[in-house]
Structure 1
Amino acid sequence: MSQEIRNLEPKVLWNKFADLNAVPRPSKKEERVIEFMKQFGESLGLETFEDEIRNVIIRKPATAGMENRKPIVLQGHLDMVHQKNADTNFDFDTQGIDMYVDGDWVRARGTTLGADNGLGVAAIMAVLESKDLAHPAIEALFTIDEETGMTGALNLKGGILQGEILLNLDTEEDNEIDIGCAGGIDVTATRGYEEEETPENSVGYKISVKGLNGGHSGMDIHKGLGNANKIMNRLLFDGFENFGLQIAEVDGGSLRNAIPRESNATVIISGIYDEAFVFDMQEVIGDIKSELHTMEPNLSITIEKCDTPAKVMALGVQEGVVRAIYAAHNGVYRMSPDMEDLVETSNNVARVVIKDGTVEIKCLTRSSVESSKMDLANALRSAFELTGCEVEFGGSYPGWTPNVNSEILDVLVDIYQKQNTDKPDVVACHAGLECGILGTNYPDMDMISFGPTIKGAHSPDERASIKSSQKFWKYLVEILENIPVKN
């Protein structure tokens, strides 16, 4: 790891981030980072423990003169999204993130950076280690599995935390203060199918979609970015409609909360349509690239001959599956009528796998309104069930209802205006912050979310602003000094 990262200011923040990024920490495989964080807390002589689900809690007493202030919870999640470019040779299970400085940005070489939520976690670590920062009594709450199910937040029991105010450090625009967020639900469609022998005189082709930006399926869903699964399905639909294309295999997307960047398919065409198929596909590819040129200038779609697969999907099942994926809504479903420019409800067609007699389609549906979330989830369910799929809902978590009368919100707004020349944007976001979930067991806790500017989260283009991180650290330090007095 480059020493230049550790030399960035503020060093207390970037050194902790470098330490954290040396520890592999994929969602659902957090054992190493849990032990890392426990050893960190214990090395400081602070009360450190796990709860039943393996969230880590570290408690630090108030500094002299701050004992009369309300106790606070500083909260971030330990796991990170693991995404890499197809041509990047990297093992997330064994390697630390390879970071470098690019102007005002810290990036990773060909992978996600882990600034989401690593910078927030690093800031909490720096506060815990500090000897000269003024602050009230602190509980540092490091949750697990935020990115793939909010498991840590969902299973944190009431009565463990003693704080009255929670500062969630997981927002990605430094001029925003978040007071609300979307809830979500996983929609998973599956079905089996009989494979059949490939007809004689068939020609095999491999279709690849790559080069898309990808990104956060909540924060970036309104940008009109390309979805590799929807693009691939469009190509398969056209090939089937016009030339009787049959699918041998499809593998598209990865994580439910990442907009799919790549998809690959192996298909067959009757030899009599060989040239016409390729010609037609190039026209469709041209149309897609033209439509997405502004947002996806690096989109690459290739069609190459390959060995003819021995078995393919039966046309009757294939027709229903392809039409269902075409019908499945992707992107913004409804904008909020109450908050300007806020996406209320959306869906990400995140993962499509067709292989060895099994179809699996995974979606993540988000909404800040519970009824609208379920409305869209049921629309997706209906489309998939019409083609014979079994549909399961899972991982449902609530949104976070904004509290415009929050006492800590007033503190943050005042400090931001004092430190900067403009006012902060007080917003609700379309991402799934843990505040809404934590609030179910801690309904009286005053919660707020803020953080440094991070771009491209959940994709290999993820990058963190150095200048913004300095702004964020200065902001956090003054917030800690100005926590309200106990009632």
Structure 2
Amino acid sequence: MGFNYLPLEKVSFKKGYICTLNNTKIMNTDIRQLSPQALWNKFADLNAVPRASKKEAKVIAFMVEFGKHLGLETIVDEVGNVIIKKPATSGMEKKKTVVMQSHLDMVHQKNADVTFDFATQGIEMYVDGDWVRARGTTLGADNGLGVATIMAILESKDIAHPPIEALFTIDEETGMTGAMGLQGGLLEGEILLNLDTEEDDEIDIGCAGGIDITAIRTYEEEEIPEEVVAYRITVKGLQGGHSGMDIHRGLGNANKIMNRLLFDGFESFGLRISEVDGGGLRNAIPRESFAIVVVDKVHHDAFAFEFNQLAQTIKKELKHTEPSLHISAEAVALPEQVMSLGVQEGITRALYAAHNGVYAMSTTMENLVETSNNIARVLIKNGTIHISCLTRSSVESAKMDLANALRAVFELCGCEVTFSGSYPGWTPNVGSPILKVLTSQYELLFNEEPKVVACHAGLECGILGQNYPEMDMISFGPTIKGAHSPDERASISSVQKFWTFVQEVLKAIPNKE
């Protein structure tokens, strides 16, 4: 069977790239001293390379250089996935071939008050007790620790392992187009180890599917009314997080909080919206939102009083999950225009009605979120409304049911709604042979049973399984908290535990039949 590989001579990279980019290798010296050093050094190397979803050219080149430097067969497929093959170590040749898989891209998020250029700068990391964190940005542990683990095993000379096909996919975070584009027949492995989950005592055997929902409309702008004052409303200090793994935690959504404030201001005082800018990526719970509004001068004092009352009410509601929530309204210069009144009324009502958060819990697996939605991005400016959502579900029909409910809400206020990026879930297989291997090794190593779960995040296993239906798949990883937010952090002790577990799993891979 033929495949259209991207010729390696057409993949450009700068020799020694990891050592020269922004001196990040030097800045992350403390990280390189952590145990296991082989893994943390590869993570520091990787984090020196910009690797936003859909902008992976530099990290693809980095991985190609890495594979070629080791003298291993290295392939870049037609969509940009990198495959590096390593033969079995002595005595392991009869074992089944294992595909070790992680994704190269990372979520690029930063706090609004942090100056950082993801396109040119490497991630600046530091040690905080048992945690590795980044300075005001996402850490890239999702899924950089998985990538670094595979790199360390590929580079090792003393770790026993079966034949390995290392699969580094692209664009997992914003569409899973790497997994979708991987052709059947390219891999020979019978077992796939996906290293992309975030609790070290869990073994994942299933995940949710997802679909992107985008609502757009244009509107006429009007001159601002006379005798008004302008405010910049700020919602910030929220934790944010992964819109799948963290959706059940009752975290605040900056877009929903902002809309609640705007709705109340309009209902009570005729507040008019000039612009709104909230949230960011679809797979990140929005942490911040900003709006420019105007209110009649005659209502100035009453508006300020009621706004502060509502702000305190919201903060009280979220005091346990969002202790750092900040809500304020500051006087600013008058904008030139505001939204047309009818459109403003319609969109604020639609955003109020649109579901956000957990929609349904699973009826087949205890404590598993079945269906949810994240209102991820709201941008209202210069005559255009743009709203982005990510709907997830482990049940395909339920996913589409909620997607259609959201479409109906936004269409009622005149938006054009499109669906895109739909991907399937991964159906749990409790009889998986590799599951038995992992559970038995975990019990032997740690003297306790692991939790066998399905997760509400989107893993690539379901997609990869479409072209590799006979491949036995499992997912596990070290403990990572706050993924998709600047609070992302990785547990050092958990990475040590995970590193030991991975090596023992590789030793325990069964022989070919």
Which TM-score tier does this pair reach, normalised by the shorter chain? over 0.9
- The alpha carbon displacement at 1:2 in A equals 2.8
Q: 2:358 aligns with which of 289, 313, 332?
A: 332
* TM-superposed deviation, 1:421: 2.2
Q: Secondary structure in 2 aligned to 1:4?
A: helix
> Map of 1:67-466 to 2, 5 A cutoff?
67-466=93-492
Deviations 1:360-384 (A, max 9, x none): 1100000000000001000100000
2:277 and 2:289 in contact (8 A); partners too: yes
CA distance in 1, matches of 2:297, 2:132: 50
Q: Is the partner of 1:199 in helix, strand or coil?
A: coil
Distance 1:89 1:189 in 2: 30
CA distance in 2, matches of 1:319, 1:386: 12
Instruction: Give distance in 2, aligned partners of 1:284 and 1:266.
Output: 18
SS of the residue 2:274 aligns to: strand
* Mapped partners of 2:182, 2:165: distance in 1: 14
- Matching residue's letter, 1:67: E
Aligned partner of 2:447: which letter?
T
Q: What is the CA-CA distance between 1:85 and the residue it aligns to?
A: 1.2
Structure 1: stretches of 5+ with no match in the other structure:
none
User: Residue type matched to 2:283 in 1?
Assistant: N
Distance between the aligned counterparts of 1:107 and 1:83, measured in 2?
A: 13
Q: Note if contact 2:28-2:44 (Cα within 8 Å) is conserved in structure 1.
A: no
Shift of 1:30: 0.6
Distance 1:478 1:223 in 2: 33
| Partner Cα separation in structure 2 for residue 189 and residue 437 of structure 1 | 26
The number of equivalent residue pairs is: 487
User: C-alpha offsets along residues 380-405 of structure 1, whole Å, 9 cap, x if unaligned?
Assistant: 00000011100000000000000000
Letter in 1 for 2:450: P
User: Structure 2 length normalisation: TM-score?
Assistant: 0.94
Q: CA deviation at 1:420?
A: 0.6
Pick one of 47, 51, 67 that aligns with 2:73.
47
Deviation at 1:275, TM superposition (A): 1.0
- Give 1:68 shift: 1.0
Q: CA deviation at 1:87?
A: 1.5
Shift of 1:90: 1.1
Equivalent-residue separation in structure 1 for 2:411 and 2:112 (angstroms): 33
Matched to 2:296, the amino acid is S
> Does structure 1 residue 14 correspond to structure 2 residue 56?
no
Paired AA for residue 230 in structure 1:
K
Using the aligned pairs only, state the percent identity. 72
RMSD of the alignment, in Å?
0.6
Deviation at 1:67, TM superposition (A): 1.3
- C-alpha deviations, 1:175-212, integer Å up to 9, x for none? 00000000000010000000011111111111000000
State the secondary structure of the residue aligned to 1:277: helix
**What's the offset of the Cα at 1:450?**
0.3
C-alpha displacement at 1:19, in angstroms? 0.5
Q: Gaps spanning 5+ residues in structure 2: where?
A: 1-26
Give the secondary-structure state (helix, strand or coil) at the position aligned to 2:241. Answer: coil
State the alpha-carbon separation in 1 of the partners of residues 350 and 481 from structure 2.
33
